[in-house]
Structure 1
Amino acid sequence: MDKVIEISNLNKMYKNGRGIVDINLEIYKGDIFGFLGPNGAGKTTTMKIMTGLIKPNSGDVKILGHSVIEEFEKAMSKVGCIIETAESYQYLTAYENLKQFSRYYKNIDDKRIEEVLEITDMIKFKNEKTRKFSLGMKQRLGIAAAILSKPEVVILDEPFNGLDVEGMIDMRNIIKNLAEKEKTTFFISSHLIHDVELTCNKIGILYNGKILNVDTTKNILNNYASLENYFVSEVGRNDRI
């Protein structure tokens, strides 16, 4: 299997004592990896390092064999991402926003813009200005922008936030279809256990800045009634150590 993301001995500590400690992960082509943990566990910090938004105190992240620290442009050349919130130009329409984003890439034509609007079920809102959008609609448009260039790796920070039940189901289907049909690799952070269980094939639990365990969803559900039970068990075991 092709190793797509390799996180090695990653550390980042803030003055308030929060951060991440010795994070090590390997993600392979076509994986939908769920980075599960409560708010404040260090998920966004890790993902900001992965996308070059902040620097670690030590350690490295390689994406498709390239170090984010030493070869940033090469590492990010085939990556799409949303970190924290999906932003847009509020005075532009959904279509105009994607047209603007397409300027960052080569060979993105109107056909591809229409395609990602269809994939995210935003085609019917293509001519509406985004200042009128709900949080869920903004999230869908953010996903459309993240997959616009047909990236090999998509990094999504809390992609289910703001979505209603129908939106969550649609988002899961989008992610699963891209992973299955185009072998897109996803790295998804979330604190929503149910959605991680239904979406991801591999899960890592982050708690107090540390990785407690990494396993496949299949193995977890073979041994526990639900991902929630597994999470509670791992956290409880860690607190006793």
Structure 2
Amino acid sequence: MKKVIEINSLTKIYKNGRGIKDINLEICQGDIFGFLGPNGAGKTTAMKIMTGLVKPDSGDVKILGYSVLEQFEQAMERVGCIIENAESYTYLTAFENLKQFSRYYKNIDDKRIDEVLELTGILKYKDEKPRKFSLGMKQRLGIAAALLSKPEVIILDEPLNGLDVEGMISIRNIIKTLAETEKITFFISSHLIHDIELTCNRIGVLYDGKLLNVDTTENILKNYASLENYFVSEVERNGRI
């Protein structure tokens, strides 16, 4: 399988001692990879490095063969992302927000904007302003923005956090459909074990800044009653819970 994301010896330690330590990871085309760990484990730090928002102390990340540190523009050219929050201009409509975002890319026309609004299920709300949206609708608008440029890789930080059951199911179905039909590779972080189990086909457990293990969801569930049991086992085996 084609390697899409390569993380090599990635380390970033903050003054308070938190961060990430010597992370190595490979993600292949079409994977929905789940970065599972509690709040403060280092998930957002890793994703900020992956998207050029934070510089590591050491190590590197390659996306589609390009180093984020040395070839940032090429590395990010085919990447869509939401880090921490899906932000929007509250005084613009959903359509106008995407029109504004489209200026960062080449050859994004109104038809493409309607396509991503349809894909994320909010086309009928295109003329409404996000300040009226539920959290789930704001997340859908954020994912629509991430999809605008037809990316090959989408990086989502806690995309299901705060959503109701209907919103979670909707976002999960969007992610699975895009991975299957468009062969988009997803890198998703979450502390919500059940949702990672239902969404992702590969899972990495991050705990206290260390990547404890990586395995397929199918293999995990063959050997454990649930992803929660696997998570507890991995953390115990590596020293603490």
> TM bucket by the smaller chain?
over 0.9
Q: Are positions 1:10 and 2:30 aligned together?
A: no
Matching residue's letter, 1:210: K
Matching residue's letter, 1:204: G
Structure 1 residue aligned with 2:171: 171
Q: Are positions 1:37 and 2:37 aligned together?
A: yes
Structure 2 residue aligned with 1:110: 110
Corresponding residue pairs, total: 241
The CA distance in 1 between the partners of 2:121 and 2:100, in whole Å, is 19
RMSD: 1.1
Matching residue's letter, 1:49: I
Matching residue's letter, 1:67: S
Structure 2 residue aligned with 1:158: 158
Q: 1:136, 1:161 within 8 Å by CA — same for their partners in 2?
A: no
Alignment of 1:126-165 (within 5 A): 126-165=126-165
Structure 1 residue aligned with 2:28: 28
Matching residue's letter, 1:179: A
User: How far apart are residue 108 of structure 1 and its match?
Assistant: 1.0
The CA distance in 2 between the partners of 1:111 and 1:37, in whole Å, is 39
Q: Which moved more, 1:83-92 or 1:116-125?
A: 116-125
Identity of aligned residues (%): 81
User: How far apart are residue 133 of structure 1 and its match?
Assistant: 1.8
Task: Give ranges in structure 2 of 5+ residues lacking alignment.
Answer: none
Structure 2 residue aligned with 1:207: 207
Structure 2 residue aligned with 1:196: 196
Structure 2 residue aligned with 1:55: 55
Structure 2 residue aligned with 1:234: 234
User: How far apart are residue 106 of structure 1 and its match?
Assistant: 1.1
- TM-score with structure 1 setting the length: 0.98
Task: Give ranges in structure 1 of 5+ residues lacking alignment.
Answer: none
Q: Which moved more, 1:231-240 or 1:194-203?
A: 231-240
User: How far apart are residue 134 of structure 1 and its match?
Assistant: 2.1
Q: Are positions 1:79 and 2:116 aligned together?
A: no
**Over residues 155-210 of structure 1, what are the superposed CA-to-partner deviations in whole Å (9 max), with x where a residue is unaligned?**
00000012211111111111111111111000000001111001100000000000
Structure 2 residue aligned with 1:125: 125
SS of structure 1 residue aligned to 2:220: helix
SS of structure 2 residue aligned to 1:239: coil
